[in-house]
Amino acid sequence: MASKGLAPTLPAMSKLGKAYEPKDVEGPLYEWWEKQGFFHAEPDADGQPYSIVIPPPNVTGSLHVGHALDNTLQDALIRRARMRGLNAVWLPGTDHAGIATQNVVERQLASEGISRHDLGREAFIERVWQWREESGGVILQQLRRLGASCDWEREAFTFDEQRSRAVREVFVTLHEQGLIYRGYRLINWCPRCLSALSDIEVDHIDEPGELAYLRYPQMDGGDGVVVATTRAETMLGDTGVAVHPDDERYRHLVGTTLRLPLLDRELPVVADDHVDPAFGTGAVKVTPAHDPNDYEIGQRHGLETIDIMTDEAAISAAGGPYAGLDRFAARERVKADLDALGLLVRVEQRVHSVGHCSRCGTVVEPRLSDQWFVNVGPLASKAIEAVRDGRTRFVPERNAKGFLNWLENLHDWCISRQLWWGHRIPAWYDAEGHVHVLREDPTPEDEAERGLVRDPDVLDTWFSSALWPFTTMGWPDRTPELETWYPTSVLVTGYDINTFWVSRMLMMGLHFMGGVEPFGTVFNHGMVRDRHGKKMSKSFGNTIDPLDLIDEYGADALRFALIRAATLGQDVPLAEEWVEGARRFANKLWNAANLVLLLTGDEGPALTAEGPPAAGLALEDRWILSRLEAARAAVDEDLDGYDFAGAARSLYHFIWDEYCDWYLELAKLREDRESKRVLLAVLDAVLRLLHPLMPFVTEEIWRTLCAAHESDSLVVAAWPSTDPARRDLRAETEFDALRDVVTELRRFRADHRLPTAARIDVIAVAPGERRTELEAGLDGIRRLSGVGQWIFADDPSRAAGGPLGKVPVTGADLFVPLAGLLDLDEERERLTRELDKAKAELARAEGKLANAGFVD
C-alpha cells in the first residue's frame, strides 16, 4: 500500500450513534480510504497477483442499477482478495462509446438547431471532448459512492493517448496479418445514424407486416412466376428470380428471362439450392444489393447488383420513377402500382422479424457497402479452444455453451463506422485509389506528394474495448503491470455482453498476448429486474435510480440488497423494500455493536487483540464460536464459487438469528472477562467477513470497537482463516437443547396468552445428566423465557399441589403450575393435537427403521 503521506483525516470515533446514519459515515470514510492509498496496488508488491478490469461504463453515462450490481460484485471480490493478502488491483476506466456518445452530442446540437455537419468534423469532435470533460467524471464519482475500491491512480479511457496507440498497433498488425481487410460487402446500415453496424448491433423484433405476392411475367408475355416479399420496394433492385433446381413447377423456366414490372428490367431465372420450394411460391425474387441471401445467390449466378437506396434509405435514382420516395412510402406505392396492373396477386398479413438499430431503434437496411472487416475465423478458433480447454471457464458453466455456439457461427466483423467520434482508421488512399495502412501518420509533404487522403471512418467502439484487459496495463509497452496482473483473475459481467465484449476480448487477448487468455474465469451475473422479475426499462417506467437508493438507505443497504438477490446465474429482482430490509440489517449490526460497546466498556481493542479465549468458556461461548466457524466456512465456500447470495444469507442468519438473538441476550447476564472477549472476537470476525459486502458500516464499527490504532482499517485487515477444528458439535447439540427449552416455554406462554410481564414457574423432572445440563443453563433459560421460580422435583403434582401444564422438551418433562391462569379444556385439546402429531411422526420413523434398506 502506498500511503500518500497524509495523516488520517478521520476523527476518532469513541462512540457509535443511536442509529446507523450512512450519510454521516460513507463520504468521510471513502475519502479517507482513497487518501490512505488502500486501493492502490503496485506490481512488485508482495502477494499472489489478483486483478480485475472494470467493464468500462460509457464516459458520459450515469450509474444505473446494472452498474451497481456489477460493480458491487467486483468490489466484493477485490476487497476479499485484498484482505486475504493478495496483490489485488481493480483497474477502472471508461469507454468512449462511439455511437452512443455521438448521438448524445448530436441531440444537444439539434436542440440548438444545428447539425454536426454545420460544425464540421474537427469542431464537432472538440465539442464531444468538451462534453466528456463535463460529464466524464460523473459515473466514476458515482462508483465511489457505491464504495467501489478501484485503483483510481490507474484510471484508463478507451480513447486516451495510451489506448489509442494500442488500437493503432492492433489495427495495423491485424492488417499486416491479413486479418483485417477492406471489402465491398453487404452490411447493416442505419439510415438515421448514417453508419454501418455489426450484426450484434442489430436487434431483431417481431412485427406485423404484409407478405405481398407479386407476379413477374415472362418477357414474351407468358404468366411467369409469382414471388413473395415483405419489402415490396426492394423489387426495384431485383436482378433475377431463383427457384430450386429440383422444383418441377419451374424447371421449364430456368434459363429464361422474366420482365420486372414497373421498371421493365430483364430478370434471368436461375436455379439455386438455397431456395426452399416449400416456402411461399417456391420462387424467390433476388435483390443482391439489399438482402444477405440474395447477395449470395447473386454472387453464385453472376447477377447484377443494383443499389436502389440513398444513405437515408430513400429510393435512389436507380429506382426510376420512385426516386426520392422514402422506403416505406415506396413500399406502399409499389404495391398499389402493381395492383393497378393486376400484378399484385394477393397480400397476407404476416409477423416477421425486423432488424432495428440497437442504438436508435431505426429499422436497419441491409446494404452493399465498402467497409473494413475483421476476418474472425482464425481468432475465433483460438477463443473456442481456450473455452473448450477450460483455460477460460464460465460461471455458471452453462453459459459456455451459448458462447461457443455463437463463436462457431461467426460472420466477419464489420468494424468501420461512418461516425466522427472514435478511433480514426489508420488508412490512406493514394491518387490511384490504393490503400495504405500506416503505423505512423504520413508527413504533410508525403501526403501532398502522393495525394494521400485519409479514410474518414472510425472504428467500432468494441474494437478498443476488446483490448481492455491488456491496454489498461500499458500494452503495447512491456510493463511490470502486464507481467504481474495479466491475465486477469476474473471478468465480472452480465451475460448480455458475452458476445459484444467477452468474445472480442478473448480473441484479441489470445492473439496479442502470446496465446494467453485475458481472464481465467468469466463470472456472469444476471440482469437487475423489478420486483416482479420484469425487465427494467424507461418505457415501462419501472427503473430505479441507485443513487436515490444510496441517498435514502445507504450504499451498504443497496449493495446488500443486490447481493442477497444475486443467486448464481439468475436475474436479480430489486425493489425498494428489499433495500429497506438491508438497511435494517445494517442498523441491527450497528446496534449489536452498541451493545457490545456497552458490555465491554472501553476495553474493546485490547480485548480484541487477545483473540478468542480458549479456556474458561461457558456453553454459549463454545456454541457461538462454533457457529462462527460454520458461518466463516460457508462464506468462504460461497464466495469461492461466486455465490454471493449464499454468503449474504449465511452472514445475515448468523448475525441476526444466532449472535444477536441468542448470544447477545445471554451475554447481558454476564460480566466475566471471557464473555467480553468472545463478544468482541465474534464481532471482529463478523465485521471482517461482512466487509466486502458492506464496507461502510463494518469499517465504522470496526474502527470504533476493534481497531488497535487510529490508522487501522478493515480495508487492509486480514481475512479470517477457517479451521474445521474450531467446530464444537457437542456444544452445538447441548446449546440447541437449551434453546429448545426456551422456545417451548415461550410458545407455552404465547399459546396461553400469558402476559409478558407475568413470571411463570417451572417444575422440572429430569434424569441426572439432563438435570445437570439444565442447571448449567438455568440463568439463561430463565432470562430468555421469563421464568420466575424453577425447581426440580420427582413428583410434580405433589410439588405443585394444583393443575399443571406440561411443556414438551427433549429429555425432560417441564410442568407449569397453572394456578387458574387458563382454561383446562382448551389445554387438553391442544395437547391432544400435539399427541396426534407425535404419533404420526413415530409411525413414520418406525416405518423407516423397519426397512432394511434404510438402516443400511
**Residues numbered 192-211 forming contacts with RNA, rule: CB under 7 A:** 199-200, 204, 211
The verdict on 271 binding RNA (CB under 7 A) reads no
Out of 177, 183, 279, 443, the residue judged to bind RNA by CB under 7 A:
279
Distance CA 786, CA 765 (A): 19
292 vs 320 by CB, closer to RNA? 292
The verdict on 827 binding RNA (CB under 7 A) reads no
CA dihedral 733, 738, 740, 742 (to 10 degrees): -160
Task: Pull the grid cell for residue 123.
Answer: 469542431
The verdict on 277 binding RNA (CB under 7 A) reads yes
The verdict on 823 binding RNA (CB under 7 A) reads no
Kindly state the helix (H) or strand (E) to which residue 88 belongs, with its residue range: strand 87-91
Out of 646, 692, 720, 777, the residue judged to bind RNA by CB under 7 A:
646
Stretch that binds RNA, among 71-79, 143-151, 414-422, 750-758 (CB under 7 A): 750-758
Are 469 and 519 in contact by the 8 Å Cβ rule? The answer is: yes
Out of 4, 730, 746, 839, the residue judged to bind RNA by CB under 7 A:
746
Applying the rule CB under 7 A, the residues between 202 and 261 that interact with RNA are 204, 211, 227-231
Out of 284, 407, 536, 550, the residue judged to bind RNA by CB under 7 A:
284
Task: Pull the grid cell for residue 266.
Answer: 430483364
228 vs 492 by CB, closer to RNA? 228
128 vs 303 by CB, closer to RNA? 303
**What Cα–Cα distance (Å) separates residue 475 from each residue in 95, 150, 152, 513, 558?**
17, 20, 18, 9, 36
Distance CA 384, CA 410 (A): 11
CA 532 to chain CA centroid, Å, is: 18
Are 425 and 458 in contact by the 8 Å Cβ rule? The answer is: yes
Least distance (Å) between residue 796 CB and RNA: 23
Look-up of cell digits 400484378? 343
Give the helix, strand, coil percentages of the chain, each rounded to 5. Answer: 50, 20, 35
Out of 529, 622, 691, 703, the residue judged to bind RNA by CB under 7 A:
529
Distance CA 363, CA 189 (A): 9
CB atoms within 10 A of CB 351: 10
Task: Pull the grid cell for residue 85.
Answer: 493478502
Number of helices (H) and strands (E) in the chain: give both, helices first: 31, 29
The verdict on 831 binding RNA (CB under 7 A) reads no
Query: Which DSSP letter does residue 201 get?
Result: G
21 vs 779 by CB, closer to RNA? 21
Compute φ and ψ for 393, nearest 5 degrees: -115, 155
117 vs 833 by CB, closer to RNA? 833
Applying the rule CB under 7 A, the residues between 403 and 462 that interact with RNA are 405-406, 409, 411
Applying the rule CB under 7 A, the residues between 758 and 817 that interact with RNA are none
Distance CA 309, CA 286 (A): 16
The verdict on 343 binding RNA (CB under 7 A) reads no
The verdict on 537 binding RNA (CB under 7 A) reads no
Applying the rule CB under 7 A, the residues between 574 and 633 that interact with RNA are 577-578, 581, 583-584, 586-588, 591-592, 594-595, 598
Stretch that binds RNA, among 85-93, 455-463, 510-518, 660-668 (CB under 7 A): 660-668
Contacts with RNA by CB under 7 A: the residue count is 87
280 vs 520 by CB, closer to RNA? 280
Task: Pull the grid cell for residue 148.
Answer: 467501489
Least distance (Å) between residue 566 CB and RNA: 9
Out of 431, 750, 791, 831, the residue judged to bind RNA by CB under 7 A:
750
Stretch that binds RNA, among 175-183, 284-292, 381-389, 764-772 (CB under 7 A): 284-292
Applying the rule CB under 7 A, the residues between 289 and 328 that interact with RNA are 291-293
92 vs 780 by CB, closer to RNA? 780
124 vs 748 by CB, closer to RNA? 748
Stretch that binds RNA, among 71-79, 275-283, 715-723, 773-781 (CB under 7 A): 275-283
Out of 175, 285, 367, 703, the residue judged to bind RNA by CB under 7 A:
285
The verdict on 755 binding RNA (CB under 7 A) reads yes
310 vs 591 by CB, closer to RNA? 591
Distance CA 347, CA 330 (A): 16
Query: Which DSSP letter does residue 566 get?
Result: -
The count of residues in the chain is 856
The verdict on 127 binding RNA (CB under 7 A) reads no
Out of 398, 439, 730, 828, the residue judged to bind RNA by CB under 7 A:
398
Out of 656, 732, 740, 827, the residue judged to bind RNA by CB under 7 A:
656
Distance CA 612, CA 577 (A): 37
Stretch that binds RNA, among 105-113, 445-453, 623-631, 846-854 (CB under 7 A): 846-854
Out of 531, 730, 759, 839, the residue judged to bind RNA by CB under 7 A:
531
Least distance (Å) between residue 19 CB and RNA: 4
Applying the rule CB under 7 A, the residues between 459 and 498 that interact with RNA are 496
Distance CA 768, CA 792 (A): 11
Out of 21, 449, 477, 823, the residue judged to bind RNA by CB under 7 A:
21
516 vs 840 by CB, closer to RNA? 840
Reduced 3-state DSSP string for 169-185? HHHHHHHHCCCEEEEEE
Out of 276, 389, 710, 723, the residue judged to bind RNA by CB under 7 A:
276
Out of 435, 609, 845, 849, the residue judged to bind RNA by CB under 7 A:
845
267 vs 715 by CB, closer to RNA? 267
Q: At what angle do helices 673-690 and 644-652 cross, to 10 degrees?
A: 160
Out of 729, 756, 794, 798, the residue judged to bind RNA by CB under 7 A:
756
Are 394 and 387 in contact by the 8 Å Cβ rule? The answer is: yes
The residues with which 43 forms a beta bridge, in sequence order, are: none
**What Cα–Cα distance (Å) separates residue 669 from each residue in 605, 674, 762, 781, 783?**
22, 13, 20, 11, 8
Stretch that binds RNA, among 333-341, 373-381, 542-550, 569-577 (CB under 7 A): 569-577
**What Cα–Cα distance (Å) separates residue 531 from each residue in 554, 564, 571, 577, 778?**
20, 14, 11, 9, 46
Handedness of CA 685, 688, 689, 694 (dihedral sign): positive
Are 494 and 569 in contact by the 8 Å Cβ rule? The answer is: no
Counting Cβ atoms within 10 Å, is residue 833 exposed (0-12), middle (13-18) or buried (19+)?
exposed
Stretch that binds RNA, among 12-20, 415-423, 482-490, 722-730 (CB under 7 A): 12-20
CA 744 to chain CA centroid, Å, is: 45
Are 349 and 210 in contact by the 8 Å Cβ rule? The answer is: yes
Applying the rule CB under 7 A, the residues between 686 and 745 that interact with RNA are 743
Least distance (Å) between residue 208 CB and RNA: 12
Least distance (Å) between residue 754 CB and RNA: 8
The verdict on 353 binding RNA (CB under 7 A) reads yes
Q: Which of 813, 791, 812 is nearest to 800 (CA)?
A: 791
The verdict on 637 binding RNA (CB under 7 A) reads no
CA 50 to chain CA centroid, Å, is: 20
The verdict on 361 binding RNA (CB under 7 A) reads no
